[in-house]
Structure 1
Amino acid sequence: MSLLSLDGVTASYGPVQALFGVDLALEEGEVLALMGRNGMGKSSTIKVICRLLKHSGGQVRFDGTDLAALPPHKAARAGLGLVPEGRRCFANLTVYENLIAAARPGAWDCARVYGFFERLGERQGQTAATLSGGEQQMLAIGRALMTNPRLLILDEATEGLAPVVRQEIWAAISRLKAETGLAILVVDKSLKELRQVADRAVILERGKTVWAGGFDALTHDITDTYLGV
């Protein structure tokens, strides 16, 4: 049984349908890339998984549990840790306060996060508003880890960051994969970096899954057709 599975998922924003049939499966300890051009349903899929958008058809299951009836906070408690697009740190709270805001008991605590992201430890008394974009992204990841999730969801975690900072974030994702065995669902446009860290990919086109498989089977024809790269 997959840790996370979506089968034929459809969803709408009022009268506007966004998802027309999303299928994906993610196993324990796996890194899965969710890919597609802008506006093809990636963020809507993430919202459905995290219960921020109700699906109108299909099924969403996490560790065998149907997520349809769960509100967002109960989905989070079930083991979903979201690093949202745009970071969304609490600007007026300190690094430490951001980390403990949604913390749950488990292996990840402040000391472990500070060990993983040393700069957060150095700046634990600073407010999030005073951090650089890269440091805020580290904080957003650390905050999600503090919920001690079974699945970490990264929605455009490197978008808008300087190249050197993007490499730091990719290095952190690689470390999480190697050192923790945490299941990770990552949305990003950086095909080169995704190839290095992800085990498999799912591609969306117009709100529907059009391709799924390992990166060794991801040919130039497929990327040209669905990703434009």
Structure 2
Amino acid sequence: MSLLTLQNVKASYGSSEALFDINLSVSEGEVVALMGRNGMGKSTTVKTICRMIPTSGQLTFDGQDLSRLASHQAARLGIGLVPEGRRCFANLTVTENLQAASRSGPWDLARVTTLFPRLDERKRQRASTLSGGEQQMVAVARALMTNPRLLILDEATEGLAPIVRQEIWGAIAQLKNETGMAIIVIDKSLTELAQVCDRATILERGKIVWDGLMTDLTFDISERLIGV
């Protein structure tokens, strides 16, 4: 059963249309890669799901109509976002960043610091003093502290050192294998995506140009549509 469904969804920035008749679904426990070259509509799709921009069409989450909701109301339904650029609260400590997003559920400080032990070591440090990789861990952990049913990661490994990238990918794999959480992942690394994702959707100029099982995403398709 689909947890998230978009049917014939369009989105725009003012008079400029950005998405054209998007049809996308994510089932409970499914990990979906949202792919495409830069500027093709991936982050706009995320903003649409999280109710950050005007849209038309049908959007449902767990059977509820998303189209009439504000972004904070969508989040309360169980949509957790790890935004592009991390956006930690610079003057707050690691613990304060996490507590600021906390909602009741299985994900608490103890559990997120088990997933990312380095955050326990840095818990009293301000976010502004952390490395880029540590800030990204805070961003992922903060989203988990909302206890989401759907986790969206927008370029969560971009610009990070290889060892930190692998730590983030390891956490995503752990979430998939141990929680049954639905996840949407935006990233450019086909190798890592292939290891954790069940399906892939490719966008080009605001339209879906390919959708299918990750195992069916061949080199020829990825080379033609993504350029990797």
Give the structure-2-normalised TM-score: 0.98
Which amino acid counterpart does residue 20 of structure 1 have in structure 2? Answer: F
Q: Distance in 1 between matches of 2:159 and 2:41?
A: 20
Offset, 1:208: 0.7
* Alignment correspondent of 2:173: 174
Write the distance in 2 (CA, Å) between the matches of 1:216 and 1:178: 18
**In structure 2, what is the Cα distance between the partners aligned to 1:110 and 1:175?**
17
Question: C-alpha distance in 2, partners of 1:64/1:222?
Answer: 33
Counterpart mapping for 1:134-173 below 5 A: 134-173=133-172
State yes or no: 1:226 paired with 2:225.
Answer: yes
| CA distance in 1 between partners of 2:97 and 2:31 (Å) | 26
Q: Which residue of 2 aligns with 1:130?
A: 129
Deviations 1:170-218 (A, max 9, x none): 1110111111111111101101100000000001111011111111211
SS at match of 1:3: strand
For 1:5, give the aligned amino acid: T
Q: Which runs of 4+ in 1 moved over 3 A?
A: none
Distance 2:107 2:48 in 1: 26
Identity among equivalent positions (%) equals 68
- Is 1:110 matched up with 2:109? yes
CA distance in 2 between partners of 1:149 and 1:215 (Å): 24
| Other-structure match for 2:59 | 60
Residue 44 of structure 1 aligns to a residue in which SS? helix
**1:56-80 Cα distance to aligned partner (Å, 9 max, x none):** x221111111101110111000000
Partner Cα separation in structure 2 for residue 224 and residue 138 of structure 1: 31
What amino acid is aligned across from residue 102 of structure 1 in structure 2?
Answer: A
CA deviation string 1:37-62 (max 9, x = no partner): 0000000000000001121x221111
- After superposition, where does 1:199-218 map in structure 2 within 5 Å? 199-218=198-217
The separation in 1 between residues aligned to 2:173 and 2:219, in whole angstroms, is: 24
Kindly provide the amino acid, as one letter, of the partner of residue 120 in structure 1.
Answer: L
Aligned with 2:2: secondary structure? coil
Cα distance in structure 2, aligned partners of 1:121 and 1:66: 38
Q: Letter of the 2:99 partner, please give it.
A: I
Distance 1:72 1:58 in 2: 17
Gaps of 5+ in 2: none
2: CA distance, partners of 1:77 / 1:65: 12
Aligned-residue CA RMSD in angstroms?
0.8
For 1:17, the aligned partner's letter is: E
**Deviation by residue 1:93-117 (Cα, 9 ceiling, x = unmatched):** 0001000102100001111111111
